[in-house]
Copies of this chain bind each other. A is one copy, B any other.
Amino acid sequence: MNNTDIQPDITEIKNSRIDQVDFSNLQFGKVNADHMMYCDYIDGEWQTPKIVPYGPMEIEPSAKVFHYGQAVFEGMKAFKDENDQVWLFRPEQNFERINKSSKRLAIPEFPEDYFFASLKKLLELDKDWVKKGEGNSLYIRPFVIATENGVSASESDRYRFMIITCPAQAYYNKPIKVIFAQEYSRAADGGVGYAKAAGNYGAQFYPTKLAKAKGLDQIIWTDASSHEYLEEAGTMNIFFRVGDKLLTAPTNDRILDGVTRKSIIQLAKDNDIEVVVEKVSVKEIVNAAKSGELKEIFGAGTAATVVRVEGFEYDDVYHDLPIVDEPYGTFFKKSLQDIQYNRVEDPHGWTVKAF
């Protein structure tokens, strides 16, 4: 990571909470490691980042984040290898993306050296929270919230950038059933879908609840105007294998430009798998399911890495997907994890030592 002169102010915990945690039985996102980072934007400037024990903070009820959802976030992971070294996966992508999200939400961008100096220090302090072993990681959640007090509907003049972390096991351990969206939608053309804007996620909870009531796990969002093209899932990009070709939607202003997605596209190229990055029509996928040409659907994202879709519902019909030999999904998941856990060579220089 970058060398930098900025150093966060550190207040270390007195007593670690680590002994109270059952690492073999973690609910995703519920337990936080000992420390967190915060950095306030005041009078047009980011102040010195502070690392302090994880815990509640004081905030006024009139803070703009509560009223106007002026907030963005990121999701990344630290992995521990067999030699107890801690690695990040393409962290510069997350750094660039949070600033892209911030820009769209009228939030001031965060300086690169502040980000990496704080992250590095935070991981060093909490390195015991990063556990070895397949599927284990420390989930890292950078986020920014609007903290100006005042309920007028305009951008805040104060912000807080924070990083909190949570030890995590594999996110989805079983294949999921999905539904292709026909009524609700996730993002508008000209909207904020490409940003990790807080409001994009809360807006999905209700349609997802309806899907769950039908026995389905997640929604594959389609374009809001026509519902004819498959775009992405709530927290994952989505791939379709038709015959031996791998299809995925091009990114646009409604779709998050996922790090896992772009890494899989690269790995496919490295391994002579044909990838077609073009609009994926619902009709084409439904027909391929009927004809048996649709071999796989899988989601790709930091939290889940790769998750197999076992079937989808569309137009009230549920389509089972076959179980194929040597699935692409399994191959990409293993290839990514081999790189993330530093078990193989890393030809693209994706992994970065955390400290």
Give chain A's interface residues, CB within 8 Å of chain B. Answer: 27-30, 32, 36, 38, 54-62, 64-71, 73, 103-106, 139, 141, 143, 145-146, 149-155, 162, 164, 166, 181, 183-192, 197-206, 208-209, 224-225, 227, 234-235
Of chain B, the residue at the smallest CB distance from A38 is B61
Beta-carbon contact of B201 and A67 below 8 Å: yes
Contacts of A103 in B (CB 8 A): 206
Across the interface, A153 reaches (CB within 8 A) one of B32, B155, B206, B235, namely B235
Beta-carbon contact of B58 and A150 below 8 Å: no
Given contacts A106-B205, A166-B151, contact A71 B60 (CB under 8 A): no
Of chain B, the residue at the smallest CB distance from A63 is B56
Given contacts A66-B143, A146-B202, A197-B202, contact A224 B154 (CB under 8 A): no
Beta-carbon contact of A62 and B197 below 8 Å: no
Contacts of A73 in B (CB 8 A): 67
Contacts of A64 in B (CB 8 A): 202
Given contacts A65-B66, A143-B66, A188-B187, contact A202 B203 (CB under 8 A): no
Beta-carbon contact of B151 and A139 below 8 Å: yes
Given contacts A60-B55, A198-B199, A225-B224, contact A106 B70 (CB under 8 A): no
Of chain B, the residue at the smallest CB distance from A155 is B205
Beta-carbon contact of A106 and B209 below 8 Å: yes
Beta-carbon contact of B145 and A66 below 8 Å: yes
Given contacts A58-B56, A151-B141, A155-B209, contact A191 B162 (CB under 8 A): no
24 contacts between A and B (CB under 8 A): A29-B62, A29-B152, A30-B149, A38-B61, A59-B59, A65-B198, A66-B198, A67-B143, A68-B201, A68-B205, A69-B203, A70-B202, A70-B205, A106-B205, A151-B164, A153-B204, A181-B190, A184-B191, A185-B188, A185-B190, A187-B188, A187-B191, A190-B227, A199-B200
Across the interface, A59 reaches (CB within 8 A) one of B57, B162, B224, B235, namely B57
